[in-house]
Amino acid sequence: MSTLPDIIRDFERVPAHIVQQAAEFQPAILADVAGRRGGLDGRIRALRPRMKLAGTALTVEVRPGDNLMIHAAISLAKPGDVLVIDGKGDLSAALMGTIMMTACKQLGIAGVVIDGAARDSLEIHEMDYPVFCAGTNPNGPTKLVPGRIGHPVSVGGVTVHSGDFVIGDADGVVVVERDKIEGLLPMAKKKVRDEAARIAAIKTGDTAAKWLDSALRAAGALKEGETL
């Protein structure tokens, strides 16, 4: 019986042209066409609202407050990867700061998502490097405890595999399975068109939600035949 190594170096990534196409959509659009799922818990937010990221997940699992395996992941990452770090939601110490983020930017890593804390937030903002995290803390981490790279992780209540598509903006972060993202793109394009048409209609005075009465009847809030 063979066991997987703690560090999985090779996995299939989302093709760069698919990342580029998917990155044109808001995370909200992709979450909707993915079945209203894949959005990380709202506590994981951009350090600054205008930050955006899109790329392929490289997963990292660490013990709370220890960033040893994040340094290893930075060494293994390929351009276009997004570090997705399961820091167990711990906010007692920052897992990454300016030095590590500078290295990530220099290597072409597309961004960082941390279920944990970061620090040096003002400097990271000035770098214009996309970082999404659960909070900040000036305390530094330890570098003592082994973890895992490339294994499935739970980040913000969502299971993430290395190779999944990751996208983030001011609303938060959405993860879509690698083998599903390409097939969602036509649906996303249609949804953007439909929403634009609906907004245009609302601006002309067509504000009524056509589906509302039937939904209220189905929910038992209105009787059959009754309308608002």
Residue 178 annotated as part of some ligand binding site: no
Q: In terms of CATH architecture, what is 16-184?
A: 3-Layer(bba) Sandwich (3.50)
Residue 44 annotated as part of some ligand binding site: no
Q: Residue 2's pLDDT is what?
A: 58
Residue 63 annotated as part of some ligand binding site: no
What is the maximal distance between C-alpha atoms in the chain?
67
pLDDT in tens, 43-101: 999 999 999 999 999 999 999 999 999 999 999 999 999 999 999 999 999 999 999 99
Q: Which residues contact 72 (CB under 8 A, 6 or more apart)?
A: 7, 149
73 near 58, Cβ under 8 Å? yes
SS3 assignment for the chain: CCCCCCECCCCCCCCHHHHHHHCCCCHHHHHHHCCCCCECCCCCEECCCCCCEEEEEEEEECCCCECHHHHHHHHHCCCCEEEEEEEEEEEEEEEECHHHHHHHHHHCCCEEEEEEEECCHHHHHHHCCCEEEEEECCCCCECCCCCEECCCEEECCEEECCCCEEEEECCEEEEECHHHHHHHHHHHHHHHHHHHHHHHHHHCCCCCCCCHHHHHHHCCCCCCCCCC
Residue 98 annotated as part of some ligand binding site: yes
pLDDT band at 123 (very low <50, low <70, confident <90, very high): very high
Residue 179 annotated as part of some ligand binding site: no
Q: Residue 1's pLDDT is what?
A: 53
Report domain extents, the chain: 16-184, 186-218
